[in-house]
A = this chain, B = another copy of it.
């Protein structure tokens, strides 16, 4: 894997935030340092960095992929209102699940836990609580930089 400025900027962008950014977010941020970087390059580098194990790819909600520079074992809380994803420090004990999976003759490689909820900013103070799909829809627009 060659060491280019584009790749370095993409990696730093993912590592620079706890917000589990989308490719779009990384692109916008990378463009501040390399104004003519292309979205394709961002995608290519995110994919390669994930394959190389330098970042992690997470599937939060059904929308865009998100990326995570935190490689340690941890889980996520996702706000169904704004789509934000935060880390959860508590290490979950999944031994029973893994045992069950093995009992089904699965070779266990990993696991992912996501708690869904409403963050303080999205909690209904009024009646505008988003429905599940509307919430998911508005997620990208409100992604806090």
Number of copies of chain A assembled together? 2
**Docked CA distance A98–B100 (Å):** 22
Q: Is A112 a contact partner of B109 (Cβ separation < 8 A)?
A: no
- Residue-wise, chain A 108-145 has the 8 Å CB interface mask toward B (1 for contact) of 11111111111110010000000111000000000000
Chain B residues contacting A90 (CB-CB under 8 Å) are 96-97, 99-100
Give the residue of B57, B88, B117 whose beta carbon is less than 8 angstroms from that of A62: B57
- Total chain A interface residues with beta-carbon distance under 8 A: 45
| Residues of A in contact with B (beta carbons under 8 Å apart) | 47, 50-51, 57, 59, 61-62, 65, 75, 77, 79-80, 86, 88-90, 92, 94, 96-101, 104-120, 123, 131-133
